[in-house]
Structure 1
Amino acid sequence: MPSASADDTKILEKVKHSLEPDYVPSDDESYMSGKQLDYFRMLLLEWKKSIHDASSATLQSLQDGPIREADLNDRASSETDWSIELRTRDRQRKLISKIDSALRRIDEGEYGYCEVTGDPIGLKRLIARPVATMTVEAQQAHERREKISRDD
């Protein structure tokens, strides 16, 4: 079973290909132009829809019935698979709240700018991670502070 992060990446790549195939935001345009904001809005909405569709499939599988494996090892394996699937869905539920937050930032004109420094996050980072809220440098500093506080 692929990791949740790999699943998110696959879903995001599929969504990108379903959007306007010839358009990719570029540095030649003004940063966070209307066309770029529309691109990211559609990307986020399609990503959210894909996550909801996958969640519905999981819910349907859970409703189809309990695990009824005769062999204890098979049952344990099935239960482990379900546990992983449910953790993945919980992770994606949290991702949906990040997507909603990014959509709200687009509506408020704050999307694409670091919440810490106010600097542009950068198109490459936003294309790779549309829910990013910080520049790479601010994110690294945040993670260093987090690590230091965990070590204390």
Structure 2
Amino acid sequence: MPAKKQPTASDFKNFTPYKPKKNEEYMNESQLEHFRHILLSWKSELMEEVDRTVSHMKDDAANFPDPADRATQEEEFSLELRTRDRERKLIKKIDKTIDLIDADDYGYCDTCGVEIGIKRLEARPTATMCIDCKTLDEIKEKQQLG
């Protein structure tokens, strides 16, 4: 069974993109509420995946007498657990992002302090850097690896 792609915020189509009103203040209460809703929905879907995995592993766990069948099942469970571990880390990141919203410190770049932007945050609600700083960060990372 192929590993599932890790979900991103854009996988959740159940929100309407935010349309800022003319002269609207950035990260006002309605914008913060918009992103809180996106993050809570995303977290909820991830938690449902965790529950499905636990159920699947309980229901499908079998002690196959054939070593090849047993190995196949163990590999499948291992892949699922790795995916759930990534999702667990993502849930922690979502919780930290919700804390930023609660602290009225959401939507601004950690590096330079500029607005990250509504469209970027809708694409990646856990973003903590503006696109320019993130791009520079990735370039530096590639140079260090290269």
TM-score bracket, shorter-length normalisation = 0.7 to 0.9
- Cα deviations across residues 50-107 of structure 1 (Å, max 9, x unaligned)? 1111101111222335344455444333322211111110000000111011101101
Which aligned pairs between 1:1-150 and structure 2 lie closer than 5 A? 1=2, 3-5=4-6, 8-9=7-8, 13-14=11-12, 16-17=13-14, 19=15, 23-28=16-21, 29-64=24-59, 66-69=61-64, 71-150=66-145
Higher helix share: 1
The percent of aligned pairs where both chains have the same amino acid is: 39
Partners of 1:66 and 1:51 in 2: CA distance: 22
Shift of the alpha carbon at 1:36?
1.1
The total of aligned residue pairs comes to 143
Shift of the alpha carbon at 1:26?
2.5
Q: Is the 8 A contact 2:93 2:126 kept in 1?
A: yes
Q: Which runs of 5+ in 2 are unaligned?
A: none
Task: Determine helix, strand or coil for the equivalent of 1:4.
Answer: coil
Structure 2 length-normalised TM: 0.84
Structure 1 length-normalised TM: 0.81
Pairwise CA RMSD of aligned residues?
Answer: 2.2
Change (3 A) 1:66 1:2: closer
Taking CA–CA contacts closer than 8 Å with sequence separation of 6 or more, which of the two structures ends up with the larger relative contact order? 2
Partners of 1:12 and 1:50 in 2: CA distance: 13
